Amino acid sequence: TEIRLSMMFLLLSLAASVVFVTTLVVFFYLFFKPSKASSYKFPPGPRPWPIIGNLNVLDFLKAQETFCKLSEQYGNVFTFHMGRRKFVVLTGYQTVKEALVDQADDFGGRGQTHTSQLFSKGKGVIFGKGESWKTMRRFTLSTLRDFGMGKRTIEDRIVEESKMLIEVFESYKGQPFEPTIHINSAVSNIICTIVFGDRFEYDNPQFLRLQKLVNENIKLLVSPKMQLFNTFPFIGYFIKDLKKVSSNVKENQSFLRNLYKKSKDVVDPNDMRSFIDTFIVKQHEEEAKNSHSYFDEDNMIFTSANLFAAGTETTSTTLRWGLLMMMRYPHIQEKVKAEIERVIGRERPPRSEDRKSMPYTDAVLHEVQRFGNVVPMNLLHETTVDTTFRGYKIPKGTPVIPLLTSVLFDKTQWDTPFEFNPGHFLDAQGNFIRKEAFMPFSAGRRVCLGETLAKMELFLFFTALLQKFTFHLPPGIRPEDLNMEPVPGITASPHSYKLCAVSH
């Protein structure tokens, strides 16, 4: 019996040793094997540590600041290691322009993280890839234009929605209130009329829930824990943020799938009222051809979700920055209001054509976008081919970070980059001037497809509000007391604040 026990113990010990050694071999193979890209010439960068790469120097909540500081040491093009994965970081206007515009095809891919792969599967227009992305982008741009993007029809909707937003602001009778949900709802309703074919009342529970899901995920997706998951996906089981994001995505998709199913068999090709209707008709046409098609249910779900999220968050966040800036700098607010009074007056609503006669207001809006820096990290790009950039040979499939923060605050392009200064967009005579380094919508093949709509919304909502109200801080709060630091997220939003909207 003792011999048997000894033998069993020996065998168990041997088995455990084999498992341990095998695990070590696999571990070292995965993390220390020579890179296949060793024949390429990557830019310089901080020396990576084993396993973690350069994560030891990364400020997870302000990654853009880490990269800006590193660029001072390693130059405008450098390599940063997230674990074993090499990222090429591009900083400064000239560098980002050369990559995204001058070599647009080479740097026009969408970089993928474990999160984007998990929740988008290469579908949709934001994280889409390859021919699927090209097809969806062409179709989406065409459909947005058909439903009035950049035209009088969508302008009329924005004007009407701004009147409803003004009514909500007036209901507070000059008392302090938090404007976020009202601004979100107004802006979101514009894209909702396109995607769903109708607007929502501001107190609609389903509407508020959809907004909440988007807002939560925008913050959670770049939390430190989620960034660690993107580097070390095997820890996903332990990440609560991942479970919450997954739950939010499923709920959002469930809403869209139900809409899709309700519309699929009843849509009228002669009376298409929404993006979803148009997609379904196109899907039927492709199915009739009996050929492979990218117009499947998943692409409808992901593209519609992309439009709802992107069409709500960035514009509403920029407007919130705009009102915050007007309270922080009341003398600038006075100049904007004086120009509105002179050009538009107090009775008729603002129209897009007024913009060319309002250089100061135009400059203020551009400076709000520049200084607000709503998408500080840009979205991840990827090289589509082996390419040479500034003497470095970068392989196909390399993730690239074209840092928008470094463009919007480039000291070589802006006189006072770290100050809110509408003069950046005005000449000596007070005329509006365009700046090539103004890239809040990114540039190149992946430039924001809703740029035209966003610009129209920003001007019409902003001028309508400033036409009707003077914005003040609540009693006891001074302009210098305002927290101007952004809240970390995919988009950089202002901290929650209250305002007093005093009507004339």
Q: Rounded distance, CA 218 to CA 205, Å?
A: 20
172: phi then psi, degrees, rounded to nearest 5: -85, -10
- Residue 211, exposed/middle/buried by CB under 10 A (0-12, 13-18, 19+)? buried
Q: Rounded distance, CA 232 to CA 228, Å?
A: 6
Position 168, amino acid = V
Q: Strand (E) positions, 66-108?
A: 77-82, 85-90
Tokens in use for 163? 């009147």
Name every residue whose Cβ is closer than 8 Å to that of residue 198 and which is 6 or more positions away in sequence: 192, 274
Q: Rounded distance, CA 256 to CA 262, Å?
A: 10
Residue 408: name the closest of 68, 58, 61, 45 by CA.
68
Which DSSP letter does residue 435 get?
-
Residue 255: name the closest of 301, 314, 218 by CA.
301
Q: CA 111, 447, 452, 285 torsion: positive or negative? A: negative
Q: Rounded distance, CA 496 to CA 111, Å?
A: 31
Answer yes or no: are the C-beta atoms of 299 and 124 closer than 8 Å. yes
Tokens in use for 77? 């093009």
Q: Strand (E) positions, 344-461?
A: 381-382, 387-389, 392-394, 399-402
Answer yes or no: are the C-beta atoms of 226 and 245 closer than 8 Å. yes
Q: Is 500 annotated as contributing to ligand binding?
A: no
Q: Rounded distance, CA 142 to CA 136, Å?
A: 10
In the annotated binding site, the residues are 448
In the annotated binding site for heme, the residues are 448
